[in-house]
Amino acid sequence: MSSFKDIIKGETPVLVDFYATWCGPCQTMMPIIDEVKSALGEGVRVLKVDVDKNHEAAAKYKVRSVPTLLLFKNGEIVYRGAGLHSRNDLISLIEKHKD
């Protein structure tokens, strides 16, 4: 099993969804993120991080509200955004960082 550090270092964009099970907007984002993954297939990796179970990761990336989305490319954060995102906006954002 790959570690978080190894996964985000790759050339494939990695969308990390910091969420909480009690968060209404997070529940709204889940099917949107699933649609984005289905649309882009191998063009993106998606990781979901429950902030209540992963305090260290949330603290390391300074997640103050949920949902917070981080997009990594080659180990670097290329996008950070909190709140709801549309399917099309996420797809456009990820495609911009594919190559």
* 13, 94 Cβ separation under 8 angstroms: yes
Query: Of 90, 77, 92, 73, which is closest to residue 29 (Cα–Cα)?
Result: 90
User: Roughly how many angstroms between the first and final C-alpha of the chain, as a whole number?
Assistant: 26
Query: Of 21, 25, 78, 75, which is closest to residue 52 (Cα–Cα)?
Result: 21
Q: Which of 7, 9, 10, 23 is catalytic?
A: 23
Q: Which of 26, 44, 71, 94 is catalytic?
A: 26
Active site residue 26: yes
Query: Of 43, 36, 99, which is closest to residue 69 (Cα–Cα)?
Result: 36
List active site positions: 23, 26
